[in-house]
Structure 1
Amino acid sequence: MTLLGESNATPGGFTSYRSSFATGAAGAPAHFHTRATELFFVLGGSLRVLVGEEVNTLNQGDFLTVPPHTPHAFAAAPGAEADVLFVFTPGLPRFDYLRLLGRVMRGEADPKEIAESAERFDNHYVDSPVWRAELGQG
């Protein structure tokens, strides 16, 4: 993950980062944002994405907008890598959330810190039977 830029100093600011996913790698579980619209631009490879109750595959050059309150999830498509540019607007200091995710993945922080930060970072996890089925988790 490469943190590119964030600005919440002006109305309509943004947060932007780029993520590369190894073949078949997990991305984010089902979640939604209450204040931000999330934009996806696939720079390379293929990304499997849940939006609401529908799962689609985005390929290189595809663009997706996910409005607030819309459950979504993503992962590299089966058998594919993915390189994706993410943009959130309006912006808020989301880089601290991304850094927290990294610490949790490395075992340096407790996963419950993610749940405790939901309001601060506008990232609310939800259950999605559709996404669980897509991942083969029943």
Structure 2
Amino acid sequence: MCVCGKSMSSLNIELVFIILQFLGEENYKDAVHALERESGFFFNMLYFEEIVLKGEWDNVEKYLLGFMKLDSNKYSMKIFFEIRKQKYLEALDRNERANANDILMKDLRVFSSFNEDIFKELTQLLALDNFR
């Protein structure tokens, strides 16, 4: 049986579920989410929604990377682009120009070859005093 590109026997799948259940019952939340991510077996939508709503963009991306690669398909690329764009816009909103520039150059630049116009528009936002 193949789960998210990882080969797992039915016994291993059962063990992962038992371990996830135990960790959850013992309130080891970080361990639960690490096992979900590292096994690529169980995507916890409630946890994912929680970290998205909190704006924990690095954790959002790290969690997703346990289930898909940035370049898995056009949809995964779009998802990662939107996460990084949101992170960039929030840095601009907080007037953290240096941080926003780092995000633009390190995180968003990889998408420039797919849509140069959007990357140029995002770059132009740095020059504005208030991008709203």
State if a TM-score over 0.5 links the two structures.
Answer: no
Higher helix proportion (structure 1 or 2): 2
- TM-score normalised to structure 2 length: 0.26
Q: In terms of Rg, which structure is larger?
A: 2
Higher strand proportion (structure 1 or 2): 1
Whose relative contact order is higher, 1 or 2, with alpha carbons under 8 Å and at least 6 apart? 1
